[in-house]
Structure 1
Amino acid sequence: MKKVIKIFKRIFVVLVVILVVLSVTIFFYMRRAEFGSLPEGKRLELVKSSPHYKNGRFRNLVERPTITKGYNMMGVLYKTLFTEFPNRYPIDSLPSVKTDLKTIDPQKNVLVWFGHSSFFLQLDGIKILADPVFSGKASPLPGGVKAYKGSDIYTVNDLPDIDYLLLSHDHYDHLDFETIKALQNKVKFVVCGLGNGAHFERWGYTPKQIIEKDWYESVDVKPGFKILIESTHHDSGRGFTSGQALWLSYFIQTPSTNIYYSGDGGRDNRFKTIGSKYGKIDWAIMECGQYNKAWQSVHELPEEVALATKELKAQNLLPVHNSKFTLANHPWKEPLEKISALSKNQPYRLATPMIGELVELDNPQQPFKEWWKNVR
């Protein structure tokens, strides 16, 4: 009996040592620069003064559980890890177009999509870059989520100087450390939600470059041109602490064109409100991909995207958050297949450009192919 107790004591000591070593390793690994920083000092004061920051974190307008009723976190995790879902990744290289972004006519209003939620906008001569991820990955962990073949054809060197970098929120598939570091000398201003400025400042951006905003505030670009901050229903966080940096959607209002970018977020009444508030929306750039009924509260399903586009009264829909990273269990091309079917005979036009294809925002006759159809 004493011998058995002795063996158990040794096993216990070994387990404790392993746990301590693992904890220390994780602690120091999480202090790496790519995980960013939590707001401190004046940035923290601004965070705490926000009416949307309550009980130690930012809150959605209407609180509801992340996991849908009838599901549980352990069950969802088990299914993801131990169930084989077909066609989650493309076999073929995705088709793409390499547009020379530096030689685009500055008088033209255009958009170039880079896959997932990264895109370039030129509006009234102002150059805007949203949620850029050019590192080929959506995770800081070794062996993490990698970009599909053919989806990562652009680098920071391919970009012109950027007037405004827009960040919707600080999750890794939207805020990429390597990309942001490389962009620092090309970006005039960063617009982001309260609390996110700490990441940029740690990564070398100057306070003058960083414009942190709360919901319903705005940035004056030039006469008749504003970037207006709107809400969304989501979350934030790059480590074990969530909700310390605000998540946004954007309404870009110019003398010639109005554009709404949804960022990430589940369904609520904001689309009706925004549609009524601004009246004319030429383009809605909407999250459509990496969804699951189990976490429907924070990522819209395609049928909700179609409904939201109608509520916005948008003339054109460009679906993003797809075709670069697998972050859900659905087939990789399902978001585009579903939104295409749902968009038939609707009051808006669906635009499905290939990665890198030049979208002429003022050309309602520009054709778009269902480029994914023959991609395995």
Structure 2
Amino acid sequence: MLLVFIVITIIGVFLFMQLSPEFGGKISDDQEETFKASSQYSEGKFHNPGNVRMEMSFSKMTKIAKAYFNPQENTVPENSMPIVRNDAAEINNYAGPARLVWFGHSAFLLQIDAKNILIDPMFGDVPSPHPWLGTKRFSDGLPIEIQQLPKIDAVLFSHDHYDHLDYGSIKKIKDKVAHFYVPLGLGAHLKAWEVPEDQITEMDWWDTTSFKDLKIIAAPAQHFSGRGFGDRDNTLWASWIIQGKTDNIYFSGDSGYGDHFKQIGATYGPFDFAMIECGQYNKHWKEIHMMPEESAQAAKDVNARVAMPIHWAAFKLALHPWTDPVVRFLEKAKELNLKVVTPKIGEKIIIKEPAKVQKWW
């Protein structure tokens, strides 16, 4: 009976991965041929400079497993996280100075120059291909429900991991989005989810495009990609620069610490505001996720006037206490004389207002 159960389980997992739309699309041979023009692409995969990657040795996996079964305290909030609810009419009619609304983790609504931009809009409850495979969102609901969002001029995605690119969210927002900007290859997922190809622009690092009065630049990040077995690094990952009439904004996506931050700062800084990955880290995978002290240094490297730690306060994807990212980030920022904002989820952030730290957690 045990053997029968194992066989049925294996068949079930195989069929789920083959048939579930959550896993996205496949890269075509024609697409793969175009990737060869990218400096990041070789031998059928995308790579970080210096071929930096997360290596999971048996020893590392053993240590991670041991930590997983002996977790630290406070890895999730004791109660549902409070959020600031937004008035849909006010959001829909806003035409003031550039501002952000944070949905937790790395998801934002950017309202700039009378345009609405979504950044890594993961609005689902669990960042995984199935609800059983992840920890639920820390808050009940969102600052503004998806159906209440205004018409979206553009969406930017940093990479294809489940906590950033969510099938359910795409299905709900795609009909109100004018255009999607994504790293190379990620468009295959969107097309599989019925986003028209002419509404998708794929970009390599340092590619620049104009969208109405905005300039959008894809910049380097030190990470990886993949949604299922056998597709690791088939699509590129990126950070983003958004330049409006008077605002210069940086979004780090997910990244390990590296020289690319100084390069970005030297080329496109200073930035009025930088959203910097800070959370879901571990010393065993620091190549692809920064430790909080490195996150603060990265904000300094890109020459940010004000920085905001992101990639925390929504999901448990690592083993550290859930408040550690922001606490450690603030300690290092003080040492670096870096101005920081720490808004509540849903609170409106005016890009050029004075920085304000709120220890709401």
Separation in 2, partners of 1:185, 1:151? 21
Distance in 2 between residues matched to 1:171 and 1:255, nearest whole Å: 32
**Deviation at residue 107 of structure 1 after TM alignment:** 2.9
1:272 is matched with which residue? 262
1:184 partner SS: helix
Q: How many residues align?
A: 356
Separation in 2, partners of 1:74, 1:345: 34
1:214 alignment counterpart: 204
Mapping for residues 148-187 of structure 1, pairs under 5 Å: 148-150=138-140, 152-187=142-177
* Residues 341 and 106 (structure 1), Cα distance of their counterparts in 2 relative to 1, 3 Å cut: same
User: Is 1:91 aligned to residue 78 of structure 2?
Assistant: yes
* SS of residue matched to 1:281: coil
* Contact 2:83 2:139 survives alignment (8 Å): no
Over residues 297-328 of structure 1, what are the superposed CA-to-partner deviations in whole Å (9 max), with x where a residue is unaligned? Answer: 00000110111111111100011100000011
Which deviates more, 171-180 or 274-283?
A: 274-283
Aligned match for 1:259, one of 249, 256, 261:
249
Deviation, structure 1 residue 57: 0.8
Question: Does 1:248 pair with 2:238?
Answer: yes
- Is the deviation greater in 226-235 or in 58-67? 58-67
Q: Which residue of structure 2 lines up, in the alignment, with residue 30 of structure 1?
A: 17
The one-letter amino acid of 2:31's match is R
Deviation at 1:150, TM superposition (A): 3.9
Deviation at 1:184, TM superposition (A): 0.9
Cα distance between partner residues in 2 of 1:317 and 1:237 = 28
Displacement of 1:77 in angstroms is 3.5
2:201 partner amino acid: I
Q: How does 1:42-121 map to 2 (within 5 A)?
A: 42-67=30-55, 72-104=59-91, 105-121=94-110
Deviation at 1:368, TM superposition (A): 4.0
Correspondent of 1:239 among 225, 228, 244: 228
**CA gap 1:261/1:47 in 2 versus in 1, 3 angstroms:** same
Unaligned runs of 5+ in 1: 1-10
TM-score scaled to structure 1, two decimals? 0.89
Q: How far apart are the structure 1 equivalents of 2:36 and 2:13? A: 28
Q: What's the offset of the Cα at 1:236?
A: 0.4
Is 2:53–2:223's contact at 8 Å kept on the other side of the alignment?
no
Q: CA deviation at 1:64?
A: 2.9
CA distance in 1, matches of 2:305, 2:131: 42
| Worse overlay, 72-81 or 200-209 | 72-81
Is the deviation greater in 140-149 or in 333-342?
140-149
Separation in 1 of the partners of 2:71 and 2:337? 38
| Alignment check: 8 A CA contact 1:95 1:371 kept | no
For 2:235 and 2:66, how far apart are their aligned partners in 1?
30
Aligned residue for 2:182, secondary structure, equals strand
In the alignment, structure 2 segments of 5+ residues that lack a partner are none
TM-score by length of 2: 0.93
Q: Distance in 1 between matches of 2:89 and 2:267?
A: 35
Contact 1:136 1:152 in 2 (8 A): no
Residues of 2 paired with 1:339 and 1:249: CA distance? Answer: 20
Alignment of 1:300-339 (within 5 A): 300-339=290-329
Query: What CA distance in whole angstroms lies between the structure 1 residues aligned with 2:164 and 2:121?
Result: 6
* Equivalent pair of 1:43/1:198 in contact (CA under 8 Å): no
Evaluate the alpha carbon distance shift between residue 136 and residue 351 of structure 1 in structure 2; reply closer, same or farther with a 3 A threshold.
same
The letter for the 1-side match of 2:103 is: F
The secondary structure found in structure 2 opposite 1:244 is coil
Identity across the alignment (%): 39
Q: Tell me the CA shift for residue 19 of structure 1.
A: 4.5
Structure number with greater Rg is 1
1:134, CA displacement in angstroms? 1.4
Distance 2:88 2:325 in 1: 27
- CA distance in 2 between counterparts of 1:22 and 1:304 reads 42
Give RMSD over aligned pairs: 1.9
Q: CA 1:82–1:100 in 2, change beyond 3 Å: closer, same or farther? A: same
Contact 1:310 1:347 in 2 (8 A): no
- Give the Cα separation in 2 of the matches to 1:297 and 1:345: 23
The residue type equivalent to 2:14 in the other structure is F
Q: What are the Cα deviations for residues 20-40 of structure 1, in whole angstroms up to 9, with x where unaligned?
A: 433321221002101101211
Q: Deviations over 1:83-122 (max 9, x none)?
A: 1321101012212111225424213211000000001101
Aligned partners of 1:102 and 1:60: how far apart in 2? 43
State whether residues 43 and 194 of structure 1, in contact with CA within 8 Å, keep that contact through their aligned partners in structure 2. no
Instruction: Specify the SS of the correspondent of 1:344.
Output: helix
C-alpha displacement at 1:151, in angstroms? 6.4
CA deviation map 1:319-375 (0-9, x unaligned): 1100000011100011111112222254431000000001011212x6442110xxx
Question: Aligned partners of 1:267 and 1:151: how far apart in 2?
Answer: 32
Q: Following TM superposition, by how much is the alpha carbon of 1:278 offset from its aligned partner in structure 2, in angstroms?
A: 1.5
State the Cα deviation string for residues 262-314 of structure 1 (Å, max 9, x = none).
Answer: 00010110111111112321111000011011110000001101111111111
